[in-house]
Structure 1
């Protein structure tokens, strides 16, 4: 069956929408180069919203079948690597969050492990869980900036997450995993509201907000370990 022009335009618009995440990455990197961390995380947050929506649009419009010439998966991976891995690694390397002399080596570990993870064809399970730490370095960097841990503690956390990238435990995709879906979405929503509050407070939201953000992060990274009923 021939695909109409309107369907092709609609499908291509989804690819353009996804590619806007790359624009967010560039703007975030520009902000990071000027040490404007609030702006950087703002752009990375917008990229996160785009990434959370574009997959649903692509499936609804059957973009893969309508425009087989372009790979939405490849486009998504390229954008994800820049926004989830590369820009946050640059921020951690240059901000002073990590110990002097360790920023660059740890950032290299982040981008190398992140690149390998993005190429892993088994990064997702059949029931939409991620395998290992799903290179959420944008969120990890955000927590390190907000929590203001001692540099040595921040370095240990980075090393732990790099190792967890290759540990075969399950991490939820909060919008696609059916187990505890309502609770997962609620936790993500609370985390999002608190993250916005932290941005408005110049990454200094106060101890209660930091603790709440940390609890939400621990839940989202750890709840997948609990077996779900089949």
Structure 2
């Protein structure tokens, strides 16, 4: 028979994983305050930390049997709530506060982002059986990051936002950079390079040198192109 103290420690540990996941919301709040203060590099640094939490909390949840020992909370729902805030809502506010374009246009772009992504997050078919995303996976944090890095003309940004919003409801596939097996070694290598370039951009407070711009842009194109390769070779 299991010792009661052992069971209690399992429950506390499992609940701690939920708290760890929920900490992403706190990190998002800190990113939001930085955006309001127009400290965009700091805002993305916080969002980068939120990405790290999102990337490792599932490992803890599986290792410590969270569903078994803390079933009163849904890790899936909690993860979706935090992801919406960090991937969508805060990035939309960062875009709004960036001042890149007229305020009304930034507000319109942000409204398109938060509305379309809310519908995407409600989808129950967002992933394929081989771990690709079906439709643009609402990584608006990365989109807004690239917008601030490249600062394209207003019309280009608006068109990109509209097309990506529509792509969330499409059958186009987008790569999961870790779980998809196709070209995984190359994908993981380029992901690492992209992260380094992103850190440089954050340190430079989004005032990025041309080489870093090229690295960020070309690798982003690679990730988009992978979905087209999969469609040609299902």
TM-score by length of 1: 0.93
How far apart, CA to CA, are the structure 1 residues paired with 2:102 and 2:133?
A: 30
Shift of 1:33: 0.9
Give unpaired runs (5+ residues) of structure 2. none
Q: 34, 37, 40: which one pairs with 2:37?
A: 34
Aligned length, in residue pairs:
230
- Which one has a bigger Cα radius of gyration? 2
- The residue number in structure 1 matching 2:147 is 144
Counterparts in 2 of 1:14-25, with a 5 A limit? 14-25=17-28
Shift of 1:94: 2.7
TM-score by length of 2: 0.92
Consecutive aligned runs of 4 or more in structure 1 exceeding 3 Å deviation: none
Q: 212, 215, 218: which one pairs with 1:215?
A: 218
Shift of 1:227: 2.6
CA RMSD of aligned residues (A): 1.8
Contact 1:92 1:98 in 2 (8 A): no
Give unpaired runs (5+ residues) of structure 1. none
Q: 85, 90, 96: which one pairs with 2:88?
A: 85
- The residue number in structure 2 matching 1:104 is 107
1:193 pairs with 2:181: no
Contact 1:97 1:154 in 2 (8 A): no
Q: Which region of structure 1 is more displaced relative to structure 2, 107-116 or 145-154?
A: 145-154
- The residue number in structure 1 matching 2:168 is 165
Contact 1:92 1:103 in 2 (8 A): yes
1:181 pairs with 2:153: no
